[in-house]
Structure formats: structure tokens, C-alpha cells
A and B are shown apart, each in its own frame.
Chain A
Amino acid sequence: MPRAEAMLRRVEDLLHALGCTALVVVAVLINADIISRVVGLRPLEMQFELTELYLMPSLATLSLARVFRDGGHLALEVDTPSLLGPLWPVVRRLVLAASAAFFLTVAYVSGRHAVEAFAKGSIEFGVIDWPLGWAYLPVPVGTGLLAVRLLVELVKRGAPSALATNTGGDINEI
């Protein structure tokens, strides 16, 4: 189990690094576009499509599992655990199971969508041809890994007091 956890962590960190790279690329691209406009060069016509089709989906979904691990998904701050007492670990597992089922479904149907796009060679007709399979790919990857993370939390021995979510104290909200 610890080895599986370590491997999962490594994959989560890798995808998160990819998401971070996407953000850096977005910032660089937009600035390059602005600067080229200011100095009177041709604007980067592909900046908009590249950002919208590939970079935004990547930076918004690849880190889903990592964010859950860090307790970054916002949840209500209610003292349900002490209210439910000994029932809480059971309820918590049910919550994790339902969440895992949801994201497995999302990963499956959106993955099918992506595979279809690859198989058909779907493109978005732009100034250049944008292959859509790659645009669709980050969603099933990100949600799929989140489902795996939820399942791992589910079978973990010993329940942490909360649901691996927090509601403040971290600066990464809003």
C-alpha cells in the first residue's frame, strides 16, 4: 500500500507540474502577443486558440487529484464529524465512494469522447488545423486520477478526522 501511495503521489506531482507549465506558457504567450502588438509586429494569431483549446483545460484539470490530496477542494465547515460520532468514518467512506463513482463516470465518458476524436482525426479548422483529441485529453486524465485518489483514500486504514478538505487557513482560495 505505501508503495502504491508513493507511486500515486509521483503521478499526481507530475500532472501538477504539467498544469503549472501550462500556466507559465499562458502568461508568456499573452505577454509575447501584447509586446508584439505594442512594437507593431504581427500579433500571435494562434495565442487565443492555443490557450483556449489546450492550455486552459490542462491547467484547470490536470491537478484535480493533487488538489484533493492537499485538501484544496472547498467544503462546508460544519462540525458533522463530532455530531455523527462513531458513524462518521462510515459516512466519510460513503462520501468518498460516491465522489469516486462520479469522477470515474466523468473520466470514462469524456475519455471515450477523446478516443473518438483521436480515431476520427477530428480537427478544429483554424488558421492552422488543431487536433481535437489532444484538447479533450486532459479532462479524462485529470478526473481519472482524481477517481484513483478518492479510491485510495477510501481503502486507506484509519480515517482522518476530516474529509481531506479544508475550508480556510490556506491562501489558495478565491
Chain B
Amino acid sequence: MLSLAILVIVLAVLMLVRMPVAFAMGIAGTAGLAIQIGTRPALAVLERVFIDTTASFILVAIPLFILMAELLTAGQVTRRAILACQAWVGHVRGGLAVATVGASVLLAALIGSSTASTAAMATSAYPEMRRHKYNDRLATAVVSVGGTLAVVVPPSIVLVVYGVLTETSIGKLFIAGIVPGLMTALGISTVIKIVSHTTDYAPRGEPFRLGHALRASRHVVPMVLLIVAVIGVIYGGIASPSEAAAFGVMGALVLGLAQRSLRLASLAPSVSTAVRATVMIVTIIACSHIFANYLSFTRVTQDLLSAIEGSGLPAYAILSMMVLVLLVMGMFMDQLAILSLAMPLAFPAAMALDFDPVWFGIVVTKTVEIGLITPPLGLNAYVAAGQSGVRLGEVFRGLTPFIIMELVVLTLLIAFPQITLWLPGLMLGRG
């Protein structure tokens, strides 16, 4: 146990001196393995861990989702969706912000990457809101928080990674994310309305014109068609969720080219961005396997489990402790790093407490996703700030009411598992 404590401190120090999270986990994990089982076996772990991690079909969803988001933005598809939503709700105060949430939901139904979604919205929705004299705080906050929808509304990279790490059905996780995702979107819109009526952050709406709204709606048709096509190939039995991501990439490409808004020249940078992001993510997953392997040889999972079983604490008290730890981790760490660091411990514990693996996956995803909009490390806020040029502090200030709303939604999801589980139960039956 002493060596484990030292290793955890080493890991923390390495991360504090800005060693990339993946490298830090790999180095600390290898050192731990060498202490625990010997140097030669530790090297044998290194010999295979990268090939075993990367040779995985299910992981292809990651580059494909990111590529899809890149193509949709490059092809102006997201910007048109915002304009269409605005034509319908733009007449209320804060209407354009609500329209951005609507477009974020549409985008979320296509892509599974929160940061990709935020980036897409920051380059398309933020300029629109700025043009309509929205306060920067509200505009960037809506873009950042709207981006988080992408990992709860299926498809979702975080849910794919959770499914891979815990061997939970990815199909079920996807369906389970729908209601919590829509609930979050409703929550965001409510906060926008409250902020709009209590501050001068949002301008008065423009008069509603039915003809204009109908005309603008044409522009959202291609995106809806794409969503229907992607969902259709999954539930029509033509492709598995990971394969459907590839289908969506082709759809986004065809759409952009057909609308003449995508130039072939922007293809190469899109592919390059997707590959770079994948390399970063997969390196984190591979190195976290090294660390998780070390953890399992320390038997800390079993010790912790028996401590929990012996503690006599009610299951929900233990769950609350876990969620709190994940929230704190979310302040400082990236969501995939948290998942891969925490799930080897938290998942078996949750299963021992008889929680549903699908529900637990949604609760965990929702929890780590809040970390994307909290300081000091809040990736979505960083991306929104980076793309808009608004100061980071302003973005975080604007996000405060949304963070409170997120915590309320999380509490509801924990208190009422049926919110998450009734839809998968309805569509897929029991088990």
C-alpha cells in the first residue's frame, strides 16, 4: 500500500510539471509494475500494450466522429442549422441562444465529440450572436455548454470508451443517453431564458415572420436527412454503431459537396485534425491500461471493495462519494483520462453495489462532462475562448449558472434511474 501511495504521488507530480497525462500514467504505471511483479514482466507489459490497445475495431468510431464534425463545419452545415432554428425561436428574448442549443442538439445527434461540437458551434454560432449584440459571457457560455450535449446525446466517444473499458453494450448506452441529453438541453434553454430576463445580456427578439421561418427551414433539411440516415443504418440493421460513424462521414462529405459549400482542398486538414486527435486519445487509453494493470496487481480494487462492503454505508452514500471524486477530478483532468483512471476502480465497486451498468455509465458520463465547463481545466471553455477571442475568465463567469443547472440535472439522474433506463428498456427489452 505504501508503494501505491508513493506511485500516486509520483503520478500527480509528473502531471503538475506538465508532463502529458498519457506519458505520466505510462511512466508511473511501468514503475509500479516493476516494483510489484519485477522488471522483466513489466517490460513484457510494455511490449504488447500499444498493439493490444490500438488493434481494436471498436475504436474506429473516434477518428470517424471527429472527421464528421470537421466536414460539417467546413461545409457550413452547422451554421445553416443555427439560422434555421433562429428563424423559429428568434422572436423571443434570448431566442438566438436557444436556437444555438437546438442546433447543438442536432449536431450532437451526429457527432460524439464534445470539443469537436464546441469548436463547430464557436465558429458558426458565436459570430451570429455577436452580430445580434449578445453579451460575450452568455454567447460563449452557450457555445461551451451546448458542446457538452455531444457526449450525452448519442453517438458519443465518451460512451464508446466507457463501453470498451467496462464491456457494457454500446448500443444500450447510446439509447440511454437520449432522454438525459434532451433534459440537459431543456435545462440550458431554461437558464438562457432566466438570464435573458434578469440581465441585459440578450437583446430583444426580432419579429416572427412565418414565410422567413419556413424558407430558412429548408437549410436544416439536409442535416436532418443525414441524422435520419445515420440512425437509420444502425436501427435498420445495416451497420453497427462504429460502422455508422463511417457512413456519417460519407454523408457529411456528400452533403458539403452537393451544397457546394465544401471544397475538396479542405479535406486534407480535416483528416489530419481527426488523426491527431485520435493519436492523443488512444495514447491516453493505452497508457492508462499500463496504470490500470499495475493497480490490479496491487489488489487495491479488491481491498477497496471489501472495505466498502464492510463499511455498511448505504449504496447511495458510496455512489455520492464516487461522483464527488469524479467531479473534483473533472476540474483538473480531461474526461477520457478520468474514465480510464477511475473506471478500473469505480466500475467494479458500482457493480458490487448492484447498480445498473448502463445507468452508471450515463451518470459517470454526465459527471465528467461537467468538468468540460469548470475551471481550471475546462476544455470546452478553452475552445470557446480560443475560437472567439473572449477572455477565459469571462467565459467561466458566464458559465456559472449553467454549471449549477448541470448539477441539478445530475442529481435528478441519480435520484431517478428510470429517467435513464426506461427508453432502453422500452426499445431493447430487459437484460
Chain A positions within 8 Å of B, measured between CB atoms, are 16, 19-20, 23-24, 26-27, 30-31, 33-34, 37-38, 48, 51-53, 56-57, 59-61, 63-64, 66-68, 70, 72-78, 80-81, 91-92, 95, 98-99, 102-103, 105-106, 109-110, 112-113, 135-136, 138-139, 143, 162-163, 165, 167-174
Contact = CB atoms under 8 A, between A and B. Distances in A.
B275 A95 contact: no
A167 B382 contact: yes
Contacts of A169: 382-383, 385-386
Contacts of A103: 23
B188 interface: no
B18 A80 contact: yes
Interface stretch (B57-65, B166-174, B296-304, B317-325): B57-65
A168 B383 contact: yes
A74 B17 contact: no
Given A19-B275, A80-B16, A168-B386, A72 B50 contact: no
Given A77-B377, A91-B17, A98-B27, 4 more contacts: A51-B60, A57-B51, A110-B48, A173-B379
20 contacts: A20-B271, A34-B233, A34-B239, A48-B57, A53-B55, A56-B56, A57-B54, A64-B279, A66-B276, A68-B20, A74-B21, A75-B15, A81-B18, A98-B14, A98-B23, A106-B46, A136-B51, A165-B20, A167-B379, A167-B382
B199 to A, nearest CB: 27
A135 B51 CA distance: 8
Contact of B238 (A20, A34, A67, A92): A34
A24 B67 CA distance: 10
B17 to A, nearest CB: 5
A37 B46 CA distance: 39
B20 to A, nearest CB: 4
B376 A23 contact: no
5 interchain residue pairs of minimum CB distance = A168-B382, A169-B386, A30-B246, A171-B119, A73-B20
Nearest to B382: A168
A64 to B, nearest CB: 6
A165 to B, nearest CB: 5
B250 A139 contact: no
A61 B382 contact: no
B333 to A, nearest CB: 7
Interface residues of B, number: 78
Contacts of A162: 18
Nearest to B22: A73
A98 B17 CA distance: 12
Interface stretch (B101-109, B219-227, B334-342, B402-410): B334-342
B194 interface: no
Given A95-B14, A167-B382, A174-B113, A73 B47 contact: no
A173 B14 contact: no
Interface in B368-422: 372, 376-377, 379, 381-383, 385-387
A63 B64 CA distance: 16
A77 B382 CA distance: 11
Interface in B62-98: 63-64, 66-67
Interface stretch (B1-9, B281-289, B357-365): B281-289
Contacts of A163: 18-20
Contacts of B53: 60
Contact of B48 (A56, A76, A113): A113
Contacts of A136: 51
Given A27-B246, A72-B276, A172-B276, A135 B19 contact: no
B73 to A, nearest CB: 9
Contacts of B385: 168-169
Contact of A172 (B19, B268, B277): B277
A106 B23 CA distance: 12
B221 to A, nearest CB: 22
Contact of A174 (B15, B27, B335): B335
A21 to B, nearest CB: 9
Nearest to A95: B19
B54 A174 contact: no
B247 interface: yes
A73 B382 contact: no
B181 interface: no
B243 interface: yes
B283 A64 contact: yes
B64 A99 contact: no
Contacts of A170: 383, 386
Given A72-B276, A173-B280, A20 B47 contact: no
Given A61-B50, A95-B14, A110-B47, A171 B115 contact: yes
B13 to A, nearest CB: 10
